[in-house]
Structure 1
Amino acid sequence: MDMARLIATFGGCGLSPRAPGTVGSLAALVVGLPLLKRPRLLVAGIAAVTVVGWWATKRSGKGEDHSWIVIDEVAGMWIALLACLPKTEEQAREKWFWMYPLLSFAFFRLFDITKPGPVGVLDKRHDATGVMGDDVVAGAMAALCVKGVRTVMARASH
């Protein structure tokens, strides 16, 4: 396996015989959770995965969104996790905090699979920008939804 394919499959996660996108998203969640304690590293990781993922997709997948390409799910999932960053130590210890990464995963998968609005528009590009872009937008939409849930939960607890 060459470097581009290794990156595109996120170390082989995309080679799962069942639901490779979900497997890639779950792997991204597991790898991304410790990064919630290092926000700058999470942001740098998002930038790196997006740029390197675009290159790997263009090179190994010829720009097509093959099911084995899951590096786009990693970028989207990590963007969704941005909404989980605690602003204080107190927030990190709140009883509902564990729920937010799970919600990020659920919202991200929902938007990645159903492809509403701009996600679907980017998906129709059939090039590396579309492959990466639809998941970046799905991740941003998921982050907005999680942010909304966090706001409601914070208001309800006071």
Structure 2
Amino acid sequence: MSRSESKIHVAVVGAGITGLAIAVALRRCPQYAVTVYERRAAHLQEPSAGFGIRDHGVTVLQKLGIHRKDVKGVMAAGYRTFDMKGKQTSVALMPKPADGEVPLWLLVRQDLREALLRRLAVVDETLAPIEVVFDANVTTVEPEIGAVHFADGTCRRADLVIGWSVVIPL
């Protein structure tokens, strides 16, 4: 049995932020052979919106090797919340730690997605390689047998299939 055959094969359906973050995390585990399947072409960008990541989310990204500069994020000293009439309803100020790195990053989805893709592309002998397959439109998933079927008629098997928004209705 080859090294590849003895590994646990994982199929991640979707190369959005969550799918890529899962792949980056699993890359540290040599017992997994991970493939990410994305229906869009490699050159297509994530529909971008700005958002904020706080405290534990920042910690998780840092543990994945993603730092604020990697996502072109800015630190926010806090935020204000307004109701539908424009009246301010709350103010939240972020504490400033000794290292000066405020645990609230404001960033754009596409920048985070690109940073995660760059982490997967880093060549490191201590990390398992991850394959990201673009133009792979999943049509059905058979979770009982780990079969992932694609629009082009092909089928791939995995010991574990991870997916969410596209996979749930399938």
Normalising by structure 2, we get a TM-score of: 0.26
Q: Give the number of the structure whose residues are more often helix, by fraction.
A: 1
Q: Which has the larger radius of gyration?
A: 2
Q: Give the number of the structure whose residues are more often strand, by fraction.
A: 2
Normalising by structure 1, we get a TM-score of: 0.27
